């Protein structure tokens, strides 16, 4: 399991995937953390699929507005230049390819870039929310997650066992152990993070990895 | 020009057992609080509810769920509600989970006279099972059909007496599309103003979509209070 | 050809098809005249498919706003309670069945209620504008037109010869000679107007007419 | 945050021969006047233009037509323009007439990632020839595919420096959908204000759809002056 430290490391690394001027959707959970690390040198507009373009920081107690939440249902503020709109417009934005980067959590990612992150059959019924639309809409899909499950089993696998959110949709996976690109030739390990070796990553990954680490 | 109801009870009076209702809101934000409470009080049952979520255990649509008034739920995310999970797993409640963008677009299509459209969301997943898949420009899409409702219940910040509506911040969410997709649309507004008081260039829901109005105060419960 | 008087008669009769509280779309040309005769006892909201719900009277010279026109491109005003919106929303309204009555001009109407009103092959290229959407969207489609062509030939026919705007879409036809309903059993003459006899209408109509005139 | 061009010439510089352009406006209302003039000046040709109308003989898109810069026109109504008729009848100009609601929806779909949808408009007419017809709930519908463009040129009343847009009255028309459906969208605004000056709840086109901005005065010619 990732510690608070490794969650910060993942979020900080994910932030580097965001360019100045990008419109970005951050999924619920760990992806939300990325907002805390966006460089002040970048103008980045965060989209919330419940109808807000321009998520600001969490409110002070005085600023709390019950009618202003993010997709995780947390009270937020709107940043300067923000716009509100309805859910159809919000997903027109997402589905129409206008979001530059979506950073999502994952339960499993396959070597082809399939993503499973919405359901564990027989255990919980929650629903997919906007994830199935996001994976097909954003120009770049980055999954950030723990490298292995609570039981220590690989979450990056030849094939997903859980019900899919989308097929061949993930571009990059960032975990506490490294950064992996999904390419037409399979998974390519591009970066290994402090405290792990290339062999550590290979051993904890359930699919073949090509190694292209500049170290 | 539109019927302005004196109470939520009066507004929901024509809603009958077995009807299909769309109910606005995302989480607890933008839900028509008093209309939902009146449905609970009325005890109408076997409802099919189309709404992004299903409230929480003790507020919003969760109240209808608790009283077992819902037969079928069409939603995108229902993870806030333990009773939902119990009824769904036991088979008491029929559930149709729909990707959020597809749900929004199915409702928008219903109001706009579009019976079906192709979308990429859900292709290659169980959502697309049994549905037509077609390739456009080398990419696969699934055919989804539109949704309409006997009644749509929406929540606005302001309404004028013609039925024009303005929503507040992210309390807009599914409300405008649902207003258009209801055979009869009832709008619960925090304030009803005289016609002419709303700026014509900044109306979110034009009056043509709204049949009945109710002025009602809102509790606006907060699901996840997060502060700096 | 209809005179100014008979155009007024047609417009006044068409007005009776509009109920208090109705949302109405008036086509370009003679249908526009109907607006002049709407009873002050009725609240009627006129939709213009270029993005206005609530057409008001023509402006005074001082009120003219070049950014405020109707679908016939005439300068207009907005009535109290009006709303502006984009063309997709406008036709969502139309296609979605929210307009109670559409009153349109016609070149030909068939005995099944087919309408031709957009094109004369080889002669003019204008385009259908919003007519093809309107005929499928509004709850009631009323065609108002001259009973016969400039050459004196019937415009109500067994079949349309001109390219269609829509098939089986017209509910009522109002001309200077009478009012005809399109029913599953064919055309039914319901009213004959001053100056004409039932036989006059039969003789100038190119399709079978059932007669149901309360006179 | 968005590129603010100093001149219309600079804004249209990347537009090349053979490109597909969407151009906002209904009649002469809401057309991006200066961007059109700059296209005429640039002399770019073989354009496919998607716009509800094609201007009049001496203004708007009619100017591009006069200079024979348009190869193909996709529109719903072109009756205001004699040169259009001449070029269309002689075969110099390719024309695709589309019902206005279908045109609006094809553009909306293009911006919204919907590749195709069913609509009743045109069923049983020559518009539907060669297209798939399908019955939903006993009524026939025709399958129509979406439209996108290399560049969309739109006209707004106000823009902020982020690219959020607000339109004026019926000058809105096709502009919002086109803004979303252009690979690159250039917005000509009567006024450009600092970001933060526009009310977030009343933005017609959110900034995400806009890549470039131009401030320009508008002549706003009136096609049919009608007064009381």
pLDDT tens-place string over residues A27-69: 998 999 999 999 999 999 999 999 999 999 999 999 999 999 9
C-alpha D159/C-alpha D165 separation (Å) is 5
- Give the containing element (helix H, strand E) for C60: none
What is the model's pLDDT at position B1?
Answer: 78
Contact D208 A23 (CB under 8 A): yes
C-alpha A172/C-alpha A18 separation (Å) is 13
Contact C/B (≥3 CB pairs under 8 Å): yes
Strand partners, B97: B75
- When pLDDT is averaged across residues C154-176 and rounded to a whole number, the result is 98
CA distances from B10 to B15, B20, B70, B211, D15 (A): 10, 19, 21, 14, 59
> Regarding beta strands B133-136 and B149-160, do their DSSP bridges make them parallel or antiparallel, or are they unpaired?
unpaired
C-alpha C96/C-alpha A189 separation (Å) is 51
Q: Against a cut of 0.95, is the pTM above it?
A: yes
pLDDT tens-place string over residues D111-165: 999 999 999 999 999 999 999 999 999 999 999 999 999 999 999 999 999 999 9
C-alpha B206/C-alpha B195 separation (Å) is 12
Chain B residue with minimum CA distance to D143: B117
Nearest alpha carbon to residue C170 among C112, C101, C127, C93: C112
pLDDT tens-place string over residues B11-42: 999 999 999 999 999 999 999 999 999 999 99
- When pLDDT is averaged across residues D101-119 and rounded to a whole number, the result is 98
Question: Which chain C residues have a beta carbon less than 8 Å from that of D173?
Answer: 50-51, 86-87
Below-70 pLDDT ranges, chain B: none
pLDDT at C2 over 70: no
Alpha-carbon Rg of chain A, whole angstroms?
17
Burial class of residue C113 in the structure, from the number of CB atoms within 10 Å of its CB (0-12 exposed, 13-18 middle, 19+ buried): buried
Of B120, B134, B166, the CB nearest to D113: B120
Question: Which chain B residues have a beta carbon less than 8 Å from that of D166?
Answer: 201
Give the distance between the most distant pair of CA atoms in chain B. Answer: 55
- When pLDDT is averaged across residues D25-46 and rounded to a whole number, the result is 98
> Regarding beta strands A52-55 and A45-48, do their DSSP bridges make them parallel or antiparallel, or are they unpaired?
antiparallel
pLDDT band of D52, cuts 50, 70, 90: very high
pLDDT at C181 over 80: yes
Does C27 contact D at CB distance below 8 Å? no
- When pLDDT is averaged across residues D39-50 and rounded to a whole number, the result is 98
Strand partners, C104: C143
ipTM of the complex: 0.97
Share of chain C above pLDDT 90, in %: 92
- When pLDDT is averaged across residues C96-113 and rounded to a whole number, the result is 97
pLDDT at C120 over 90: no
Of A50, A88, A164, the CB nearest to B26: A50
Helix axes A87-95, D100-112, angle to 10 degrees: 70
Question: Which chain C residues have a beta carbon less than 8 Å from that of D226?
Answer: 58-59, 74-76
C-alpha A49/C-alpha A67 separation (Å) is 15
What distance in Å separates residue A6's CA from the closest CA in chain D? 32
C-alpha A82/C-alpha D201 separation (Å) is 9
pLDDT at A1 over 60: no
Share of chain A above pLDDT 70, in %: 99
Contact D1 A43 (CB under 8 A): yes
Name the average pLDDT for chain B.
97
Q: What value, to the nearest 5°, has the Cα angle with vertex C23 and ends C21 and C25?
A: 145
- Give the containing element (helix H, strand E) for C37: none
Positive or negative, the CA dihedral D209, D214, D217, D220 is: negative
Neighbors of chain A by Cβ distance (3+ pairs < 8 Å): B, D
C-alpha C192/C-alpha C199 separation (Å) is 10
What is the model's pLDDT at position B81?
Answer: 84
C-alpha B201/C-alpha A88 separation (Å) is 20
Name the average pLDDT for chain C.
95
What is the model's pLDDT at position A215?
Answer: 55
Report the SS3 class of residue D122. coil
Interface of C with D in 177-206 (CB under 8 A): none
pLDDT at A131 over 70: yes
Contact A50 B170 (CB under 8 A): yes
- When pLDDT is averaged across residues C94-104 and rounded to a whole number, the result is 98
Question: How many other β-carbons are positioned within 10 Å of the β-carbon of residue A7?
Answer: 17
Name the average pLDDT for chain D.
97
- List residues of C with catalytic annotation: 49
pLDDT band of C122, cuts 50, 70, 90: confident
Burial class of residue B43 in the structure, from the number of CB atoms within 10 Å of its CB (0-12 exposed, 13-18 middle, 19+ buried): exposed
Burial class of residue C38 in the structure, from the number of CB atoms within 10 Å of its CB (0-12 exposed, 13-18 middle, 19+ buried): middle
pLDDT at D1 over 90: no
Q: What value, to the nearest 5°, has the Cα angle with vertex D210 and ends D205 and D214?
A: 105
Report the SS3 class of residue C159. coil
What is the model's pLDDT at position C121?
Answer: 86
pLDDT band of C184, cuts 50, 70, 90: very high
What is the model's pLDDT at position A116?
Answer: 96
pLDDT tens-place string over residues A157-208: 999 999 999 999 999 999 999 999 999 999 999 999 999 999 999 999 999 9
pLDDT tens-place string over residues A92-120: 999 999 999 999 999 999 999 999 999 88
Instruction: Count how many pairs of residues, chain B against chain D, have C-beta atoms within 8 Å.
Output: 58
Neighbors of chain D by Cβ distance (3+ pairs < 8 Å): A, B, C
What is the model's pLDDT at position C215?
Answer: 55
Active-site choice (A15, A49, A108, A176): A49
What is the model's pLDDT at position A158?
Answer: 98
pLDDT band of C9, cuts 50, 70, 90: very high
C-alpha A130/C-alpha A142 separation (Å) is 15
CA distances from C80 to A79, B42, C22, C34 (A): 34, 37, 15, 19
Name the average pLDDT for chain A.
95
What is the model's pLDDT at position C81?
Answer: 97
Neighbors of chain C by Cβ distance (3+ pairs < 8 Å): B, D
């Amino acid at each position: 399991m990732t510690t608070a430290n490794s969650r910060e490391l993942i979020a900080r690394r994910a932030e580097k995937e965001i360019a100045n001027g990008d419109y970005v959707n951050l999924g619920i959970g760990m992806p939300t953390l990325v907002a805390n690390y966006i460089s002040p040198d970048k103008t980045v507009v965060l989209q919330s699929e419940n109808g807000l373009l321009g998520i600001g920081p969490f409110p002070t107690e005085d600023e709390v507005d019950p009618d202003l939440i993010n997709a995780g249902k947390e009270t937020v503020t709107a940043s300067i230049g923000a716009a509100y709109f309805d859910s159809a417009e919000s997903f027109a934005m997402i589905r129409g390819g206008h979001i530059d980067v979506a950073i999502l959590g994952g339960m499993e990612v396959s070597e082809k870039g399939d993503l499973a992150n919405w359901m564990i059959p027989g255990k919980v019924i929650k629903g997919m929310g906007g994830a199935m639309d996001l994976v097909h809409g954003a120009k770049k899909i980055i999954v950030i997650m723990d490298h292995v499950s609570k039981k220590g089993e690989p979450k990056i696998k030849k094939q997903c066992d859980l019900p899919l959110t989308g097929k061949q949709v993930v571009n990059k996976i960032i975990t506490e152990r490294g950064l992996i690109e999904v390419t037409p030739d399979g998974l390519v390990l591009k970066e290994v993070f402090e405290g792990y070796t290339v062999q550590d990553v290979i051993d904890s990954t359930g699919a073949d990895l090509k190694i292209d680490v500049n170290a | 020009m539109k019927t302005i109801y004196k109470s939520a009870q009066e507004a929901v009076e024509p809603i009958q057992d077995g009807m299909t209702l769309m109910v606005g809101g995302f989480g607890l934000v933008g839900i028509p609080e008093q209309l939902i409470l009146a449905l609970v009080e009325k005890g109408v049952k076997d409802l099919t509810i189309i709404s992004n979520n299903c409230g929480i255990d003790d507020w919003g649509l969760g109240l209808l769920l608790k009283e077992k008034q819902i037969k079928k739920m069409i939603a995108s995310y229902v993870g806030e509600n333990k009773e939902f999970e119990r009824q769904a797993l036991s088979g008491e409640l029929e559930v149709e989970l729909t990707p959020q963008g597809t749900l929004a677009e199915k409702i928008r299509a219903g109001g706009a006279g579009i019976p079906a459209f192709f979308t990429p969301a859900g292709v290659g997943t169980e959502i697309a099972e049994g549905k037509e898949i077609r390739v456009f420009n080398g990419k696969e899409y699934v055919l989804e059909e539109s949704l309409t409702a006997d009644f749509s219940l929406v929540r606005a910040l302001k309404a004028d007496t013609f039925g024009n509506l303005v929503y507040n911040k992210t309390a807009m969410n599914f409300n405008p599309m649902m207003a258009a997709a209801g055979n009869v649309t009832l709008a619960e507004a925090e304030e009803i103003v005289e016609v002419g008081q709303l700026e014509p260039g900044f109306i979110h829901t034009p009056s043509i979509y709204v049949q009945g109005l109710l002025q009602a105060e809102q509790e606006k419960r907060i699901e996840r209070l997060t502060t700096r």
